[in-house]
Amino acid sequence: MDVQRRAAVVLELEYQHQLLIARRTLLRRRRRRVPRWWVRPWLTPARRLGYGHYNRLMQELRVEDENAFANYVRMPPQMFDELLNRIRPVIQRRDTHMRPALDAGMKLTMTLRHLATGDRYHTLQYDFRCGYSTVDLGGLEGHCQQFQDRWNVPHALGALDDKHIAIRKLHNSGSVFYNYKGFFSVVLLALVDADYKFIWIDTGGEGHQSDGQLFGASELKECIDDNTMNFPDSDPLPNDDRDTPYYILGEDDFPLRTFLMKPYGRRGLDNDMLVASYRFSRGRRVVENGFRILANRWRCFLGTLDKGPKVVQLLVETGVIFHN
């Protein structure tokens, strides 16, 4: 009997406990605060048209100061309009019975401002008066001639290097994105021409990977190996009669190949080797300068991006397109 009574008491206590939890849940639902408004007053379409940056400031800059307009979105009005016309069919949404859709031009402007300044989404929502969830969004021979004319490096097709884009630490990512510089990053591997323009990029690198690993696993290396890169045929250098292959300029971390040249080591160099190393180093600086220009134009890349790798890759690709 004692065992049966104890079991009955336990069951009764468990029942009372579950009943108490159910009552508390019901009271919480009843006490839930009723929303004060469907859309916050300062986010209404009328306020957005009257006070938002896109509908007020942008239009003033377009009419009164084109230089300030170009500084604001990093491109002149004509280029902005052309870009908007091209992407409008993709980003423009339809109006609904609940609310009108945001203008495609405002979406583009918010994206450009985020790239240009690195402002967080929570900051942009106040500037443009929209909700936070809305913001969360040539031939190789020609390159060779540019390198020879501008940097005195004949037969160079481009300069190859990588840049670490700092990101926040991802949950349960371990040390996958942790680089030797001491922070978490996504790696941009890029081939840049003599005019600081990006010929080819790969944004899928993880911070722990070395330059050699990134290049070895890249699409660029695969295209070179299967001869789909369309390298020009070997021909003599200036003031020479021996055929010399065309090549890409790299730094010390990349492997030395017939298609990938890098400066000599620092010891035991004769005069010809010193001149060659100087020329290679001088030509390779274009990729470092290209990274600096990209980051200073789109200043979000100067800080730590509070986003996942996929979003960061899209931001980098977008920034490179606008840079070129």
**DSSP letters along 105-138, please?**
HHHHHHHHHHHHH---HHHHHHHHT--HHHH---
pLDDT-based confidence at 133, cuts 50/70/90? very low
Amino acid 291: pLDDT:
92
Residues 124 and 248 both lie in one domain? no
Residues 179 and 68 both lie in one domain? no
Angle between helices 104-117 and 309-323 (to 10 degrees): 100
Residues 100 and 181 both lie in one domain? no
Residues 130 and 156 both lie in one domain? no
**178, 207 contact by CB (below 8 A):** yes
Amino acid 137: pLDDT:
46
Question: Percent of the chain, pLDDT > 90?
Answer: 6
Domain boundary among 109, 135, 161: 135
Residues 131 and 147 both lie in one domain? no
Lowest mean pLDDT among 40-44, 73-77, 267-271: 40-44
Residues 202 and 310 both lie in one domain? yes
Amino acid 228: pLDDT:
65
Q: The pTM is what? A: 0.64
| Domain count of the fold of the chain | 3
Average pLDDT for the chain? 80
Residues 15 and 144 both lie in one domain? no
Residues 292 and 192 both lie in one domain? yes
Residues 80 and 46 both lie in one domain? yes
Amino acid 150: pLDDT:
86
Residues 108 and 238 both lie in one domain? no
Distance CA 278, CA 275 (A): 5
Residues 28 and 47 both lie in one domain? no
Domain boundary among 80, 105, 135: 135
Domain boundary among 69, 100, 135: 135
Amino acid 164: pLDDT:
92
Domain limits at 288? 140-323
